[in-house]
C-alpha cells in the first residue's frame, strides 16, 4: 500500500467550498468548450442590441396617405393642407378615388383622405364631411393615423371658427404637452431597457433549462450522486457560470444603451445592476427548476421557450402596455418576474430611482427566487427513484 | 417502366419513414401535450395580451381651476372609451408620484386661471404630462386627446361666439378591420409565427436526436438514400406545422371570431410553402449540429431574429432601409404578410404571388444545403 | 474507521424489496437477505433482469427499498444515504464521464469532490494513470476515447480515493481482454494492499471466479451464494469434453447438444472440441446418441458450469423454446462445392487526419461463413466494420460487398446487408412491431409480405409477448433479439453484428449463438465482433487486429496455434497482441 492514509481523509461535511469550486470549474469548462453557448451568451445579445437599437421601431414616420381632392376649391385645399408639413404623414395627391383604392390595395398607402365633390357646397350648408379610409390590417398604425387626421381636420375647423370670430390665432384650449422620461419621443428608449430583460431571460431561462436535464440524459448524474456532493452544491455550481454569462450580456447591453443609443441613466447604476442580478437569479432558478423537472433536454428547452421567453417578450409590459389588456392577462403578467424587472429597468434608465417601487419589486423578485430555487432543490433529490 | 418502379419504391420508403417519424413524435405523451396545448394557450393569451388598442389609458387630473369648461372637458375624456380616470390630484408634487408609480400614463394639469382665461380671452393653455416609458402607447393616447380637444374647441367656438360655421365631420371607414382592433392584426400573424417555432425546432432536432441516440447509423445502412431521408424527415415537421397553424386558425375563427375573407386553399398553400422553408432551415441546422443541445441552441438563435424581423411586433416599414432588405431572406415576414392579406383582405393568388417567391427561394436554397450537409458530415 | 469496522459487515440486508411502476409487475428485488463481510471481493452474477443493478443502487443509496432493512458500513442507508455516499465509491454500468472534459479534468473533478488532498493526489493519479495505461492521453477529451479506455477512466475516477466500500456494476462490459486484465489487476491490487471491500456485478464467470464470495441472483432473488469452489459443486462430475467426428464442425456438434434441453445443461465449442454439462438426470443412451458415439472425457467443473446448472434448473422449461427454432431469415439455401466470395477487401486503408485507423487490410469472406473480427479497444475493428457496412468511406483500397463495389453502388449493397450496432439503435419509444414495420418498409417490403415476415421474426426471436410495448423499455436480451430481428427482416445475404453479446448474460449468449449458427447453416454470411474470446470458437475464421494492422487471420485452431501453449483463445489473443506490440512499440499511440 502506497498510501494507507488516503482512506482517512474524507471530511464529509467540511468540503462545501471545495466541492462547489470543483463543480463550478467543471461547469465553466463545459460552458466554454461548447461554441453553441457562446452563440447565446455573446452573439445573440450583440445581434439583439443592434436589432433593437437600430432596426425595430414603433414610431410612425412618413406614413403614406393618399389624398383625393374631388373638390378642387381653395377651401378644400385648405382643409388638407394641414395634413402635410410634418414628418408624420407623407401625402400623395391622386385624382380619383379608384386610384387611391388601388394604391391602398397594393399597400402603397395606409390611408385615404377624400374630400368629396360637394364639400364646399355642403360646408356652406353646415354639414360637410371628409372621408377617411384606413387600412385596418395594421391596427396600431391605423389608429394613430385616425387620431392624427381627426386632430388635423378638427384643428382646421377651429382655425376657421377663429377667423370667422376675428379672434387671435391662439384660440381655444391649447395643449402644451411634455413627454416625461423620453426626451426624443422614440421607441428605442423603451425597447432597449426591455432588451436587457430578454437577454437575461435567454441566458437564465433557456441556457440553464438544459443543464440538469443534460446530466440526467448523459448518465453523469448517477456518478455525481454517489460522491459526497450535496444537491445544493450541484445547483449552485450550475447557477454561477451562467450568472457570469448573464452579467456579460448585461454589461454589453448597458454599454450599448448608454454609448450607442445615448439613453440617459436617470437612476443609479447600482440599482440597475442589483435589479438585473436579482432578475437573473430568478431566471436561472426558473431554468434550473424546468431542467430538474423535465430531465429531458428537448422537453426542457420547449418549456423554457414557452414559459420564460415568449411571456417576457409579449406579456411583461415591455412591448404592450399592460393597462390595456384584460384583467386575466394582467393577473398572468403579475406573476411573471419579467414584469417587475421591465418596470425596474425602465425606471432606472428613464425615470430615476423611486425607492418604494424598487423595494416592492425587489422583494417580489427575491421571494420568487427563493421559491424557485427551493422547488429546483426539492426536485433534484439524490435519488434514481421517480 | 424501370424509372417508374424506382420512383414508386422511393415513394414507399419515404411513406414508411414518414409514418415512423410521426409515430415517434406522437407516441410520447409529453410531446403530444407540448405540440398542442402551448399553441392554443399562447394564441389565447397573446390574443388578449398583445394589444396596442387603447381602452384603459389611466389618466390623472390636477384641476386647480375647477370651472365649467375644464369639467366638461374631463367628462368628454371619460366618455371617450379610451381614457380611465385614475386619480384627482391636489397639488403639483403629486404629478411625479402618479406617473412614477405608473398609476397614470398621462396627467392633465388645468392651471387655476384656466376657466377664466378661456372665457375671457377664448384661449387657455392645458398642460399635459406624458409618461414616455412606453412612448408608443402615450403617443397614441395623446393623439386621441388632441382630437378630442380640437373637437371640443370647434364646438365651443360655434356655441360661444354664435358664429354660424359648420364644423367638418369626419366619416371614418377602416378596411378589413372595422373597429381597428389590434387583435385582428396579431392573431393572423401568430398563425405563422407560433407554428414556425416548433416546426423549426422539430426539424432541427430530427437528425440531431437520431445521431445522439445512435439510430442514425441504423437508418443509414438501410437502402434509404440521403434525399429520401431528407424528405421523410421534412414531411412530418411540415405536417405538424400545418396542424398547429390550423389550431391557431381555429382559435382565431371561433374564439376571437375574426372573419375569414380569403381562400382557405390559398392560405394553406402559403403555409405549406412557409413550413417547407422553415424545415429547410431546421434541417440545415440539424445537419450542422453535433448533438441535440447544439441543435436547440442554434435553432433558437435563428428563431429570434426571424421573429423580430418579421413585422410581427413592429412594422417592417419602420425599419431602416438596409434592414428591410435583410427581411427578404426571412420567410416569416412573407408568411405573416400572406396570412394577413389572405385572411383579412381576401387577397387572391395574384395579389400574394410576391410573397410566395421569397419563401420558395429559401426552401430551394436550404433543402439542398441540408442534403449536401447530410452526405458530407457522415464521414 | 476501517479499523473499527474490521470485523463487521460491509453490507447487511434483510428482506429487501423493490418494485418499479408503483408495485405493478414483478419486483426487481424480491426479498433478499444477505451479509457481506468487510475486506472481501464479492461477485454478483445472474442473468439480465436478475436485480443486480437495483441491488447495487440501493446499497449506494440511489434508490430506496420498498421494504426490508439495509445497513451499509454500519449505516442505515434508507435513513442517511449521504453518510454512505461519503464513504463509498460506485461505478455505474454507464459511468458518466464528462465527454467534453479531458481525462485529467475528469480525474481532478472527482478527486476534488472526494476531497483528496494535493499530496496524496499526485501519487494516486500517477498510479491510476500508469495502471490504466492512460498517462499518454491525459489531455484527450474523454469523449474521444475508445470504449475500453472510457471504462478504465471511469474506474480511475471511481478510485481517486480509497473508499471503505467499492461498488462496480459490470465494469468490464465492452472491454477487450487486455484492458479487462488490467482493470482486474487494479482492483486486485487495491484489495490486496488496502484491504478494500469490493462488490462487483459481472457477466464474465472467469471474473467471478477470482472473487472470494459469489452471489448468484435470478428474478430478484438470491439463488445461491458461497465461494466459487462451493458453487461449482452442482456441476461436479457432469462436465465433459467431446471431439466431433472428422468433417463435422465443433459448433455443429455443440448446436446438436445444446438443442437437447432435457439432457444437456450447457455446451460450448472449445479448442475444436465441445465442452458440455450433462443434466443430472440425463439418460446415458441419449447422450451417446447425441454425440454420435464419439467418446467424451470428463473434465473438472468451473464456476460457469455451476452457475449454468443452477440457472438451468430454474429456467429449463422457459428456455427450451428459445433454442430450437428453425431460421426463416435466410433467402438462399447453402450451395455445394466452392462457396462464392461475398465480401472482398483489398488493401483497405482509413485515415483520420494523420491517424491511421486501418492500415492496408485484405481478406475475403465466403458465403455462409461466420467471420470474427477481434482486437483490443481502438484496434480499428469498428472502423473496418463501418466501412464494410457503407457507413464510412474508405480512404483507399477495394471493397466489395455482396457483389457491389461500395464506391459506386452503396445503396444497392446496403439492400443486401443487415446491421446490428453495438448500442441498441432502434427507436426506443416505438413498439417492436412498429420498429419492424418501419425497417421492413425501408428495405422495400410491403403489404402482406411485410406482415408475414414480421409474424415470422416475432415468432423466431420469441418477441411476441412484448410486441406492443415500447422497445426502449424492454429488458436487455429482448432489445438484442429485436435488433437482430430488424436486421434480418429482409433476409439479407450478410449480417453484420457489432459486439452483439456485450453486457448479455451467459444464458442469452448461448441462445444468441445458437441462432447465429442456424443462420450460417442456412447460408447467411455473418461478420461479427466480440470481446468474449471464447466466442471466437464459433467462428469459421477470425482476424485479430491491433493498431489498425491485421495481426492474424485463419480458423480458430490456426490462430491459436500461433501462440505456443495457448490453452484457450483468450491466452492466444493476449499473446498475439502483446507480441505485436513489443515488436512495434510506436503503434501504441493508436487509439480510435
Interface of C with A in 284-303 (CB under 8 A): none
Sheet holding C370-374, edge to edge: C417-420, C494-498, C525-529, C370-374, C541-546, C549-554
Chains that touch C (3 or more CB pairs under 8 A): A, B
Q: Shortest Cα distance from C208 to chain A (angstroms)?
A: 24
Residue A199's φ and ψ, nearest 5 degrees, are: -70, -40
Q: Which of A147-161, B253-267, C362-376 has the lowest mean pLDDT?
A: A147-161
Q: Shortest Cα distance from C222 to chain A (angstroms)?
A: 23
Q: Rounded to an integer, what distance in angstroms lies between the CA atom of residue B110 and that of residue C48?
A: 86
Query: Is residue B185 within 8 Å of residue A144, measured between CB atoms?
Result: no
Residue in B132, B197, B340 nearest the CB of A305: B197
Q: Rounded to an integer, what distance in angstroms lies between the CA atom of residue C460 and that of residue C457?
A: 5
Residues 6 or more apart whose CB falls under 8 angstroms from that of C504 comprise C48, C203, C476, C477, C480, C512
Contacts B–C by Cβ distance under 8 A = 79
Q: How does pLDDT run across B319-362, given as a tens digit for each residue?
A: 888 888 999 999 999 999 999 989 988 888 888 888 999 999 99
CB contact under 8 A, A18 and C120: no
Residue B239 corresponds to which cell in the numbers above? 405536417
List the beta bridge partners of residue A61.
none
- Give me the half-sphere count of Cα atoms (radius 13 Å) on the Cβ side of residue C477: 21
How many C-beta neighbours within 10 Å does residue C325 have? 15
Contacts of A212 in chain C (CB under 8 A): none
Q: How does pLDDT run across B44-79, given as a tens digit for each residue?
A: 888 888 887 788 889 999 998 888 888 888 998 888
C123, C164, C195 from C126: Cα distances, Å: 5, 21, 21
Q: How does pLDDT run across C181-240, given as a tens digit for each residue?
A: 888 888 888 888 878 899 999 888 888 988 999 999 988 888 889 999 998 888 888 898
Instruction: Read off the pLDDT of each residue in B360-374 and give the average, rounded to a whole number.
Output: 90
Please give the torsion angle defined by the CA atoms of residues C327, C328, C331 and C333, in that order, rounded to the nearest 10 degrees.
50
Q: Cα Rg for chain B, rounded, in angstroms?
A: 28
Residues of A with a Cβ under 8 Å from any C Cβ are 1-12, 15, 18-19, 21-23, 25-26, 29-30, 33-34, 215, 218-230, 382-385
CB contact under 8 A, A148 and B143: yes
Residue in B38, B49, B101 nearest the CB of A314: B49
Give the pLDDT score at C391: 83
ipTM, two decimals: 0.79
A381, B230, B272, B280, C315 from B363: Cα distances, Å: 46, 13, 11, 6, 59
Interface of C with A in 353-382 (CB under 8 A): none
Residue C223 corresponds to which cell in the numbers above? 439463488
Q: Rounded to an integer, what distance in angstroms lies between the CA atom of residue C488 and that of residue C479?
A: 14
Give the pLDDT score at C588: 43
Give me the count of residues in chain B: 379
Interface test with C, best of A1, A5, A7, A30 (most C CBs within 10 A): A7
- H-helix segments, B312-352: 321-326, 331-340
Residues 6 or more apart whose CB falls under 8 angstroms from that of A345 comprise A193, A194, A196, A197, A272, A275, A276
Sign of the dihedral defined by the CA atoms of residues B86, B89, B92, B98, in that order = negative
Nearest-Cα residue of chain B relative to residue A349: B133
Chains that touch A (3 or more CB pairs under 8 A): B, C
Give me the count of residues in chain C: 592
Q: CB of C115 within 8 Å of any CB in chain A?
A: yes
Q: CB of C409 within 8 Å of any CB in chain B?
A: no
- Give me the half-sphere count of Cα atoms (radius 13 Å) on the Cβ side of residue B166: 15
Q: Is the pLDDT of residue C363 over 60?
A: yes
DSSP single-letter state for residue C319: H
Residue B11 corresponds to which cell in the numbers above? 415513394
Query: Is residue B203 within 8 Å of residue A162, measured between CB atoms?
Result: no
Q: Rounded to an integer, what distance in angstroms lies between the CA atom of residue A189 and that of residue B21?
A: 47
Residue in C430, C437, C442 nearest the CB of B222: C442
Residue A262 corresponds to which cell in the numbers above? 445615448
Q: How confident is the model at residue C497 (pLDDT cuts 50, 70, 90)?
A: very high
The DSSP H or E segment spanning A378 is: helix A355-379
Contacts of C61 in chain A (CB under 8 A): 226, 382
CB contact under 8 A, C426 and B215: yes
Q: How confident is the model at residue C592 (pLDDT cuts 50, 70, 90)?
A: very low
Helix (H) and strand (E) counts for chain A?
Answer: 18, 5
Instruction: Read off the pLDDT of each residue in A332-346 and give the average, rounded to a whole number.
Output: 90
DSSP assignments along A286-323, one per residue: HHHHHHHHH-SHHHHHHHHIIIIIHHHHHTSSSSS-GG
Q: How does pLDDT run across B93-129, given as a tens digit for each residue?
A: 888 888 877 788 889 999 888 888 888 877 788 888 8
Residues 6 or more apart whose CB falls under 8 angstroms from that of C318 comprise none
For C448, counting Cβ atoms within 10 Å of its Cβ (0-12 exposed, 13-18 middle, 19+ buried), the class is exposed
Instruction: Read off the pLDDT of each residue in B245-271 and give the average, rounded to a whole number.
Output: 94
Contacts of C81 in chain A (CB under 8 A): 382-383
Of B196, B172, B177, nearest to B343 by C-alpha is B177
Q: CB of C99 within 8 Å of any CB in chain A?
A: yes
Give the pLDDT score at A185: 65
Please give the torsion angle defined by the CA atoms of residues B297, B299, B303 and B304, in that order, rounded to the nearest 10 degrees.
20
List the beta bridge partners of residue C541.
C371
Of C371, C376, C260, nearest to C319 by C-alpha is C260
Query: Is residue A65 within 8 Å of residue A235, measured between CB atoms?
Result: no
Contacts of B138 in chain A (CB under 8 A): 179
- Helix%, strand%, coil% for chain B, nearest 5: 70, 10, 20
Q: How does pLDDT run across C404-450, given as a tens digit for each residue?
A: 888 777 778 888 899 998 888 889 889 999 999 999 999 988 889 99
Sign of the dihedral defined by the CA atoms of residues C74, C79, C82, C85, in that order = positive
Residue in A15, A30, A229 nearest the CB of C100: A30
Whole-number percent of chain A with pLDDT over 90: 13
DSSP assignments along A238-271, one per residue: HHHHHHHHHHHHHHHHHHIIIIIS-----S-HHH
Query: Is residue C277 within 8 Å of residue C239, measured between CB atoms?
Result: yes
Strands (E), C134-284: 165-169, 197-201, 213-218, 221-226, 239-242, 264-270, 273-278
Residue C81 corresponds to which cell in the numbers above? 444515504
Q: Is the pLDDT of residue A169 over 50?
A: no
- Cα of first residue to Cα of last residue in chain B, in angstroms, is 35
A54, A146, B282, C269, C482 from C522: Cα distances, Å: 73, 85, 46, 20, 20
Q: Is the pLDDT of residue B378 over 70?
A: no
Q: Is the pLDDT of residue C318 over 70?
A: no
Whole-number percent of chain B with pLDDT over 70: 96
For C51, counting Cβ atoms within 10 Å of its Cβ (0-12 exposed, 13-18 middle, 19+ buried), the class is buried
Prediction pTM value = 0.83
Residues 6 or more apart whose CB falls under 8 angstroms from that of B44 comprise B251, B255
List the beta bridge partners of residue A65.
A91, A111
Mean pLDDT in chain A?
A: 82
Of A41, A29, A87, nearest to A60 by C-alpha is A87
Amino acid at each position: 500500500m502506497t498510501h494507507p492514509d488516503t482512506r482517512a481523509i474524507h471530511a464529509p461535511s467540511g468540503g462545501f467550498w471545495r466541492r462547489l469550486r470543483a463543480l463550478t470549474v467543471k461547469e465553466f469548462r463545459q460552458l466554454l468548450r461548447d461554441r453553441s453557448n457562446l452563440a447565446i451568451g455573446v452573439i445573440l445579445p450583440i445581434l439583439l442590441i443592434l436589432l433593437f437599437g437600430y432596426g425595430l421601431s414603433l414610431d410612425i414616420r412618413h406614413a403614406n396617405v393618399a389624398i383625393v381632392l374631388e373638390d378642387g376649391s381653395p377651401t378644400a385645399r385648405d382643409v388638407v393642407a394641414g395634413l402635410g408639413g410634418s414628418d408624420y404623414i407623407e401625402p400623395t395627391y391622386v385624382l380619383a378615388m379608384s386610384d387611391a383604392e388601388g394604391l391602398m390595395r397594393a399597400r402603397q398607402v395606409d390611408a385615404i383622405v377624400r374630400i368629396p365633390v360637394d364639400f364646399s357646397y355642403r360646408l356652406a350648408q353646415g354639414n360637410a364631411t371628409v372621408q377617411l379610409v384606413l387600412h385596418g390590417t395594421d391596427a396600431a398604425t391605423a389608429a394613430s393615423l385616425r387620431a392624427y387626421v381627426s386632430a388635423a381636420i378638427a384643428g382646421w375647423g377651429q382655425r376657421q371658427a377663429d377667423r370667422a370670430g376675428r379672434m387671435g390665432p391662439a384660440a381655444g384650449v391649447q395643449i402644451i404637452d411634455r413627454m416625461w422620461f423620453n426626451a426624443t419621443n422614440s421607441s428605442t428608449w423603451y425597447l432597449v431597457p426591455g432588451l436587457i430583460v430578454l437577454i437575461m431571460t435567454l441566458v437564465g431561462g433557456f441556457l440553464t433549462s438544459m443543464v440538469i436535464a443534460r446530466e440526467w440524459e448523459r448518465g453523469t448524474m448517477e456518478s455525481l450522486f454517489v460522491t459526497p456532493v450535496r444537491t445544493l452544491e450541484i445547483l449552485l455550481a450550475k447557477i454561477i457560470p451562467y450568472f457570469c454569462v448573464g452579467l456579460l450580456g448585461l454589461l454589453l447591453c448597458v454599454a450599448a444603451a448608454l454609448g450607442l443609443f445615448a439613453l440617459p441613466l436617470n437612476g443609479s447604476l447600482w440599482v440597475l445592476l442589483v435589479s438585473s442580478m436579482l432578475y437573473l437569479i430568478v431566471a436561472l432558478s426558473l431554468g434550473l427548476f424546468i431542467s430538474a423537472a423535465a430531465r429531458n433536454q428537448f422537453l426542457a428547452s420547449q418549456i423554457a421557450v414557452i414559459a420564460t421567453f415568449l411571456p417576457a417578450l409579449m406579456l411583461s409590459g415591455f412591448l404592450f402596455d399592460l393597462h390595456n389588456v384584460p384583467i386575466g392577462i394582467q393577473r398572468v403578467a403579475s406573476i411573471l418576474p419579467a414584469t417587475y424587472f421591465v418596470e425596474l429597468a425602465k425606471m432606472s434608465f428613464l425615470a430615476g430611482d423611486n425607492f418604494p417601487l424598487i423595494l416592492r419589486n425587489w422583494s417580489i423578485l427575491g421571494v420568487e427566487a427563493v421559491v424557485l430555487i427551493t422547488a429546483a432543490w426539492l426536485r433534484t433529490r439524490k435519488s434514481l427513484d421517480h | 417502366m424501370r424509372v417508374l418502379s424506382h420512383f414508386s419504391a422511393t415513394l414507399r420508403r419515404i411513406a414508411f419513414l414518414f409514418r415512423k417519424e410521426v409515430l415517434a413524435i406522437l407516441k410520447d405523451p409529453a410531446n403530444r401535450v407540448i405540440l398542442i396545448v402551448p399553441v392554443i394557450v399562447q394564441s389565447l393569451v397573446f390574443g388578449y395580451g398583445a394589444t396596442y388598442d387603447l381602452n384603459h389609458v389611466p389618466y390623472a387630473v390636477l384641476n386647480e381651476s375647477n370651472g365649467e369648461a375644464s369639467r366638461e372637458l374631463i367628462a368628454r375624456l371619460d366618455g371617450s372609451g379610451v381614457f380611465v380616470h385614475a386619480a384627482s390630484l391636489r397639488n403639483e408634487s403629486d404629478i411625479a408620484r402618479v406617473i412614477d408609480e405608473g398609476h397614470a400614463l398621462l396627467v392633465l394639469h388645468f392651471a387655476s386661471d384656466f376657466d377664466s382665461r378661456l372665457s375671457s380671452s377664448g384661449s387657455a393653455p392645458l398642460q399635459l404630462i406624458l409618461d414616455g416609458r412606453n412612448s408608443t402607447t402615450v403617443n397614441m393616447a395623446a393623439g386621441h386627446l388632441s382630437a378630442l380637444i380640437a373637437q371640443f374647441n370647434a364646438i365651443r367656438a360655434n356655441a360661444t361666439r354664435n358664429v354660424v360655421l359648420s364644423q367638418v365631420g369626419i366619416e371614418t371607414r377602416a378596411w378589413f378591420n372595422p373597429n381597428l382592433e389590434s387583435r385582428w392584426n396579431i392573431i393572423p400573424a401568430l398563425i405563422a409565427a407560433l407554428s414556425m417555432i416548433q416546426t423549426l425546432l422539430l426539424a432541427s432536432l430530427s437528425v440531431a436526436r437520431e445521431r445522439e441516440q445512435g439510430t442514425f447509423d441504423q437508418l443509414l445502412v438501410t437502402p434509404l438514400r440521403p434525399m429520401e431521408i431528407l424528405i421523410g424527415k421534412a414531411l412530418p415537421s411540415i405536417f405538424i406545422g400545418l396542424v398547429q397553424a390550423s389550431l391557431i386558425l381555429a382559435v382565431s375563427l371561433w374564439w376571437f371570431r375574426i372573419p375569414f375573407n380569403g381562400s382557405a386553399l390559398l392560405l394553406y398553400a402559403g403555409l405549406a410553402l412557409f413550413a417547407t422553408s422553415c424545415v429547410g432551415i431546421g434541417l440545415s441546422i440539424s445537419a450542422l449540429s453535433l448533438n441535440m443541445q447544439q441543435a436547440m441552441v442554434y435553432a433558437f438563435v435563428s428563431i429570434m431574429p426571424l421573429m423580430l424581423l418579421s413585422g410581427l411586433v413592429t412594422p417592417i416599414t419602420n425599419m431602416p432601409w438596409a434592414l428591410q432588405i435583410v427581411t427578404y431572406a426571412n420567410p416569416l415576414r412573407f408568411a405573416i404578410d400572406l396570412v394577413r392579406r389572405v385572411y383579412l383582405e381576401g387577397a387572391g393568388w395574384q395579389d400574394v404571388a410576391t410573397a410566395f417567391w421569397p419563401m420558395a427561394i429559401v426552401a430551394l436554397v436550404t433543402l439542398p444545403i441540408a442534403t449536401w450537409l447530410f452526405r458530407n458530415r457522415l464521414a | 474507521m476501517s479499523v473499527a469496522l474490521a470485523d463487521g459487515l460491509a453490507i447487511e440486508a434483510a428482506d429487501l424489496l423493490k418494485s418499479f411502476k408503483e408495485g405493478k409487475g414483478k419486483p426487481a428485488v424480491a426479498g433478499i437477505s444477505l451479509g457481506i463481510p468487510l475486506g472481501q471481493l464479492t461477485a454478483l452474477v445472474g442473468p439480465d433482469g436478475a436485480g443486480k443493478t437495483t441491488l447495487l443502487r440501493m446499497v449506494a443509496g440511489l434508490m430506496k427499498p420498498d421494504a426490508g432493512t439495509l445497513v451499509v458500513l454500519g449505516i442505515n442507508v434508507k435513513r442517511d444515504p449521504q453518510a454512505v455516499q461519503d464513504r463509498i465509491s460506485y461505478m455505474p454500468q454507464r459511468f458518466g464521464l464528462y465527454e467534453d472534459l479531458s481525462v485529467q479534468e475528469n480525474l481532478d473533478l472527482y478527486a476534488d469532490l472526494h476531497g483528496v488532498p494535493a499530496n496524496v493526489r499526485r501519487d494516486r493519479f500517477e498510479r491510476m494513470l500508469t495502471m490504466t495505461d492512460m498517462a499518454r492521453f491525459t489531455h484527450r477529451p474523454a469523449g474521444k476515447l475508445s470504449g475500453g479506455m472510457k471504462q478504465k477512466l471511469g474506474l480511475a475516477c471511481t478510485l481517486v480515493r480509497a473508499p471503505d466500500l467499492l461498488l462496480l456494476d459490470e465494469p468490464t462490459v465492452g472491454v477487450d481482454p487486455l484492458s479487462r486484465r488490467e482493470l482486474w489487476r487494479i482492483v486486485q491490487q487495491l484489495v490486496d494492499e488496502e484491504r478494500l471491500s469490493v462488490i462487483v456485478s459481472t457477466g464474465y464467470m472467469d471474473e467471478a471466479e477470482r472473487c472470494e464470495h459469489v452471489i448468484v441472483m435470478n428474478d430478484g432473488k438470491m439463488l445461491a451464494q458461497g465461494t466459487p469452489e462451493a458453487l461449482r459443486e452442482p456441476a461436479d462430475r457432469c462436465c465433459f469434453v467431446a471431439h466431433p467426428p472428422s468433417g463435422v464442425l465443433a459448433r455443429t456438434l455443440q448446436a446438436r447438444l445444446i438443442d437437447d434441453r432435457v439432457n444437456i445443461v450447457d455446451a460450448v465449442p472449445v479448442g475444436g472440441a465441445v465442452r458440455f454439462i450433462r443434466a443430472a438426470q440425463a439418460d446415458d443412451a441419449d447422450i451417446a446418441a447425441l454425440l454420435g458415439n464419439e467418446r467424451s472425457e470428463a473434465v473438472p467443473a468451473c464456476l460457469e458450469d455451476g452457475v449454468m446448472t443452477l440457472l438451468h434448473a430454474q429456467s429449463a422449461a422457459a428456455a427450451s423454446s428459445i433454442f430450437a427454432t428453425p431460421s426463416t431469415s435466410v433467402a438462399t439455401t447453402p450451395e455445394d462445392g466452392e462457396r462464392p466470395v461475398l465480401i472482398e477487401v483489398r488493401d483497405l486503408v482509413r485515415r483520420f487526419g494523420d491517424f491511421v485507423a486501418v492500415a492496408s487490410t485484405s481478406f475475403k469472406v465466403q458465403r455462409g461463413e461466420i467471420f470474427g473480427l477481434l482486437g483490443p479497444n481502438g484496434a480499428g475493428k469498428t472502423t473496418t466494420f463501418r466501412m464494410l457496412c457503407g457507413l464510412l468511406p474508405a480512404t483507399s483500397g477495394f471493397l466489395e460487398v455482396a457483389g457491389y463495389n461500395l464506391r459506386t453502388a452503396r445503396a444497392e449493397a446496403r439492400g443486401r446487408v443487415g446491421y446490428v450496432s453495438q448500442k441498441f439503435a432502434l427507436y426506443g419509444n416505438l413498439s417492436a412491431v412498429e420498429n419492424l414495420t418501419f425497417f421492413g418498409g425501408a428495405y422495400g417490403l410491403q403489404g402482406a409480405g411485410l406482415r408475414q415476415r414480421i409474424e415470422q421474426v416475432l415468432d423466431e426471436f420469441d418477441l411476441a409477448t412484448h410486441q406492443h410495448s415500447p422497445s426502449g423499455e424492454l429488458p436487455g436480451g429482448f432489445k438484442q433479439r429485436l435488433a437482430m430481428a430488424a436486421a434480418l427482416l429482409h433476409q439479407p445475404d450478410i449480417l453484420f453484428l457489432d459486439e452483439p453479446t456485450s453486457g448479455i448474460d451467459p444464458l442469452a449468449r448461448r441462445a444468441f449463438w445458437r441462432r447465429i449458427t442456424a443462420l450460417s447453416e442456412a447460408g447467411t454470411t455473418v461478420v461479427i465482433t466480440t470481446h468474449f474470446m471464447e466466442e471466437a470458437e464459433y467462428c469459421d475464421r477470425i482476424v485479430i487486429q491491433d493498431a489498425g494492422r491485421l495481426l492474424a487471420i485463419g480458423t480458430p485452431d490456426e490462430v491459436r496455434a500461433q501462440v505456443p501453449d495457448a490453452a484457450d483463445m483468450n491466452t492466444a489473443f493476449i499473446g498475439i497482441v502483446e507480441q505485436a506490440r513489443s515488436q512495434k512499440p510506436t503503434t501504441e499511440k493508436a487509439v480510435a
